[in-house]
Amino acid sequence: MKQIVFATHNLNKLAEIQPLIPGGLEVISLDQIGCVEAIAETATTLEGNAQIKASYIWKYFRCDCFADDTGLEVQALQGAPGVYSARFAGPEGLAEANMAKLLTLMKGETSRRAQFRTVIALILSGNSYLFEGVVAGKILEEPIGDHGFGYDPVFQPDGSELSFAQMTLEEKNKMSHRARAIAKLCAFLENIGAN
């Protein structure tokens, strides 16, 4: 079975994408290739950060790989937290603190439109490709639900009465930003495999 590295230490992300990957392709994590470093995400865009992580793995491990970066983009906050979503409330990257800061900034705000955006950078045999997935929705007044991770409890996607954190993994994967980006990645990989 062909292996491809997903440049993440985040087991939640790994579990979320595993069911979406086509048969014949095994996704392995950074830990499984012996990469224990926290790759610095120093870019000012999601695209840049995804590219940094994928390029690092290609440079030092010479593995076909992909990396993602995801941001929550809130209209009333001019697109913030965006590329800084994971460390919005500080370098510790604590989800509860990030949500608390977001809800404080949104207090009394009537326009609650937001979107999650994921960008995936793929490197195959040294060639780079980018894929994007977006899901629109709104920021809730308070966290609801126990599933998911990150901002899932405060984000309700369009077309649903549930927050991402109220959904099962299967329900979330039918509409999430990451699932949409992964679907484009998989379609590309399947097309490459067919040629």
The answer to whether the CB of 175 falls within 8 A of the CB of 181 is no
Tell me what pLDDT residue 32 has: 92
Q: 3-state SS of the chain?
A: CEEEEECCCCHHHHHHHHHHCCCCEEEECCHHHCCCCCCCCCCCCHHHHHHHHHHHHHHHHCCCEEEEEEEEEEHHHCCCEECCHHHCCCCCCCHHHHHHHHHHHCCCCCCCEEEEEEEEEEEECCEEEEEEEEEEEEECCCCCCCCCCCCHHHEEECCCCCCHHHCCHHHHHCCCHHHHHHHHHHHHHHHHHHC
Tell me what pLDDT residue 193 has: 61
pTM: 0.90
Tell me what pLDDT residue 96 has: 95
Per-block average pLDDT, block size 10, for the chain (195 residues)? 86 82 85 90 96 96 95 97 95 93 96 97 96 98 94 97 95 92 91 61
For the chain, domains (ranges, CATH) are 2-194 (3.90.950.10)
Q: Give catalytic residues, as residue numbers.
A: 69
Tell me what pLDDT residue 78 has: 97
Read off the amino acid at residue 47. E
Q: What does the pLDDT look like over 16-49, one tens digit per residue? A: 888 888 777 889 999 999 998 889 889 999 999 9
The torsion angles phi and psi of 162, rounded to 5 degrees, stand at: -110, 150
